[in-house]
Structure 1
Amino acid sequence: MPRTLNGLAAALPLANVDTDVIMPKRFLVTITREGLADGALADLRFDETGKKHPDFVLNKPPWNNASILIVGDNFGCGSSREHAVWGLMQYGVHAIIGTSFAGIFFDNARKNGLALPIVTPDIRDRLLALADHPDGLHITIDITARQLSHGNETLDFTMDDATRAALLEDRDDTLDSLKHADAIRQFEVGLTETMRVTVAQ
């Protein structure tokens, strides 16, 4: 991931948006990660006939080009489906700014390179108001400095060291485990020998 992210922000102030809203279960039929952009927030974007809801923020210019979401509390609650993160990223969302995120959603985002800057409620509410301006709100997110800026204003956000490192270094749990491959193999050899001796006795 780049050190900084730049993009237009869209306001999605709903609280407790769960993973079934982010990625409805009817889109969980693919056996790969591809093709999930259509499902991202589908029930908010479209009606039952497939027609776009004209009043939904991501269907209106300029926010139909947004790559950053500013969201309500407890975004990503619900099931553990990783498809929610995949779909948002395929749709073009690179960062989500909020006050709190559900734990499993947060972990899935970290593993897949979706940045989740955490801000205080007053900062979030100010950004929501600014994002509603017809000209749009352009935000720069500096992952290294843990700061976001718009215009001449710079604001701090929270991101734990492990998440920050994972985003900057494109790390995930699998790659971290592979760094210890030699030690794992040595442990397996030792365990196999212990089991052989035990059986022989």
Structure 2
Amino acid sequence: MKAFTRETSTVAYVPGVNCDTDQIIPGRFLKADRAEGYDKFLFHDIRRDADGNLDPGFPLNRPDAEGARILLVEDNFGCGSSREGAVYALADAGIRALLAPSFGDIFFNNALKNGIVPVRLPVATCEALADRLAADPQATVTVDLEAAQVILPGDLGAHPITIDAFARDCLLQGLDEIEMTFTYMDRITAFEAERMARNPWLGR
């Protein structure tokens, strides 16, 4: 997992309340080889027209969205099934952070485990940011995980990032839960040795 400390980027706004994981990546693509990248499946069906061609009106298909590593999305983003492929598709497309009023619970945790920072912001703040981006598509947002805050453009100010301390530590170090556990191996080994010394019958 790629470490996350601070990311400054333009922002692509993808509207739609209750955007579920099947919209993020349709289920029929989940059998594809992840090694070849899931980015080509991101929002596959909703970013295309009836003929299967990319819809130039879809936010991520617009030239000003190129290179954006932060998405502004709407309430309850990532609801629906628990498929981790939805997060894979975002990560493979280079998305490092998501801003929304709320997220599906399982999706929120999957994002943290795969190097994406989901930031909850008040509805009014998200709406104000959407208006700002409409007026200035090149406006940037900074997600500063070290300082635990997101810095919005202009007078929209800074807002706290609230995530579990352990998940934050993993993200800052670029370690998943298993890799983080290995960093404690000296303490684990010492504990097991002491436990066996106090309870030798466990080794019988």
Does the pair score TM above 0.5? yes
The equivalent of 2:153 in structure 1 is 150
Distance 2:35 2:105 in 1: 21
1:15 corresponds, among 8, 17, 22, to 17
Q: 1:47 Cα shift?
A: 2.8
Q: 1:48 Cα shift?
A: 4.6
Q: 1:134 Cα shift?
A: 5.0
The equivalent of 1:98 in structure 2 is 100
- AA in 2 matched with 1:109: A
Higher mean alpha-carbon deviation, 175-184 vs 87-96, is at 175-184
2:84 corresponds, among 76, 82, 88, to 82
- AA in 1 matched with 2:159: D
Give CA deviations for 1:76-100 in whole Å, capped at 9, x if unaligned. 1111211111111111211110111
Distance 2:144 2:170 in 1: 14
The equivalent of 2:179 in structure 1 is 175
- AA in 1 matched with 2:175: R
Output the TM-score relative to the length of structure 1: 0.84
Unaligned runs of 5+ in 1: none
Q: CA 1:98–1:135 in structure 2 vs 1: closer, same or farther (change >3 Å)?
A: closer
1:129 corresponds, among 125, 128, 131, to 131
RMSD: 2.5
Q: 1:152 Cα shift?
A: 5.8
Where 1:105 maps in the other structure, the secondary structure is helix
Q: Percent identity?
A: 32
Where 1:139 maps in the other structure, the secondary structure is strand
Q: Residues 10 and 132 of structure 1 are in contact (CA less than 8 Å); yes or no, is this contact kept in structure 2?
A: no
Q: Residues 125 and 156 of structure 2 are in contact (CA less than 8 Å); yes or no, is this contact kept in structure 1?
A: no
> How many residues end up aligned between the 2 structures?
194
The equivalent of 1:4 in structure 2 is 6
Output the TM-score relative to the length of structure 2: 0.83
